[in-house]
Amino acid sequence: MEAKTSPNRGTPNNSPRASSLTQFRMIVVSVTCATLVSVVNNIIMPNDRLSSSGNRSHDTPQKYPKTSKKLTKDQHINTFWWPSPEEYGGILGKIHDFQNPSDCSAASAKFFVWRSKSDNENDTRGLTAWAHAASSHMLHALTDADQPEAGHRILINDDKLFPMAKGCEHGLETRECYFEPLTNCKLSDVDDYETADPKSSNIKILSKTDEEYDRNVRTLYTSDSIWFRKVKDMYSWTGLGFNSQHSTIHMTAASLAYYFRVKPWLRKEIDERLRRNIPLDLNPQRTIGVPIRRSDKCHGHALEGSASGELECPPLEEYLKKVKEFLAFDPRIENVIVTSEDKSACEEFLEILNKELPSLRVIQNIGDVQQGTGSGSKLEAYTEGSSNAEVVASALTSLHMHMRA
């Protein structure tokens, strides 16, 4: 996990925008402070397709005018911004259109139902692990598992408990406690495998992620696994053609951006935290971000109930080394955004920075829960009395802070 900088992002006085959705190309697996890096700062696509009436067209490319609201909505460095699929078109708009049909009961509508694990209450996946699964399942649905000529499916999640939504005060304890629904269709629109005729040709439940199936099946259910099918042809279904702004990496980025559309209450919370944490004079071109992932990500951790460690976490001196490399590349760097779900690691790194690079202005996620685990459903570690909502808000605030680097 490296510090990062984006030389072409933003302007000296205001914007945290990047040149395109390509800035979402680097994903850091985490739940609190190191969630996603180089994320969507500008999703304006040169080949977005809009008709003269304002509706999306599939035939006439048209660039957005320079005075478009889309070019001005993210001018404030310390306020919430996220791309709107209804406004931005391009791949994100395509996903939105396919996921939100005018008639979910139409005979042509086909569904891919994302099932929870049978023991979902003990699912320890963090925010980005869920997002990775959602992105992969969505690509499966949009391509009908690499057969786009057979049509696409609408991805819809079940209504079982979302572990990170335990104790939700803003609705049901589902994914929709925090995020906008994946589709405007309802579970009542799909064929229910629990009540349907076992011999029905309208339903198929996958026994494993790569199992083949009849593409004519109306309702397909994922297997009871946290894993997903890897789609080879991620992009051709869009019909947008390949160019610098429309590619497989943009496809992945757009699917993640679509998944992370937060509810108004959470947007307000993140906005308030950004206003508190991001200085108005921060220049993204002179800022680097250091998202530090520790705790249960590391081999040999002793956090009960969290996922097992996945790697040998590098020493903090390696993070310092990368910061120095960026400074050597661009001596004008003056700010460093430091976040971590691991409080002790964060404090230790800040001490190292203060000693080795005292001239850098350090920007932190003030109010971060730093629960000391990558699992948003496992709050034991450093803090007492924290809620899942506070963990999610902290994690997503860190994500948005690193968009400013």
Cα–Cα distance between 365 and 369 in angstroms, integer? Answer: 9
| Tokens 């984006």 belong to residue | 6
Count of CB atoms within 10 A of residue 227's CB?
12
- Full pLDDT tens readout for the chain, 405 residues: 334 433 333 333 343 333 333 233 222 323 223 333 333 443 433 233 222 233 333 333 333 233 233 333 345 688 888 888 877 778 899 999 999 999 999 989 999 999 998 888 888 788 888 999 999 999 999 999 999 999 999 999 999 999 889 889 999 999 999 999 999 999 999 999 888 777 788 999 999 999 999 999 999 999 988 899 999 988 888 888 766 666 777 888 899 999 999 999 999 999 999 999 999 899 999 999 998 876 666 645 555 655 666 666 788 898 999 999 999 999 999 999 999 888 888 899 999 999 999 999 999 999 888 776 666 665 544 466 678 889 899 989 999 999 888
Looking at residue 113, its pLDDT comes to 97
By DSSP bridging, strand 203-205 and strand 154-157 are: unpaired
Looking at residue 299, its pLDDT comes to 46
By DSSP bridging, strand 111-114 and strand 219-221 are: parallel
Looking at residue 308, its pLDDT comes to 65
Distances (CA, A) of 373 to 19, 123, 238: 33, 14, 38
Which uninterrupted H or E stretch holds 343? helix 343-356
Q: Please, which residues have CB within 8 angstroms of residue 167's CB and are 6 or more apart in sequence? A: 173, 387, 388, 389
Looking at residue 370, its pLDDT comes to 79
Looking at residue 243, its pLDDT comes to 67
Cα–Cα distance between 162 and 120 in angstroms, integer? Answer: 7
Helices marked H in 216-262: 248-259
**Phi and psi angles of residue 48, each rounded to the nearest 5 degrees, phi first:** -55, 145
- Are the beta carbons of 223 and 206 closer than 8 angstroms? yes
Q: What is the DSSP string of 63-114?
A: PPPTT-GGGTTT--TTS-----HHHH-HHHHHHHHHHS-S-TTSTT--EEEE
Largest Cα–Cα separation, the chain: 70
Looking at residue 327, its pLDDT comes to 95
Cα–Cα distance between 9 and 7 in angstroms, integer? Answer: 6
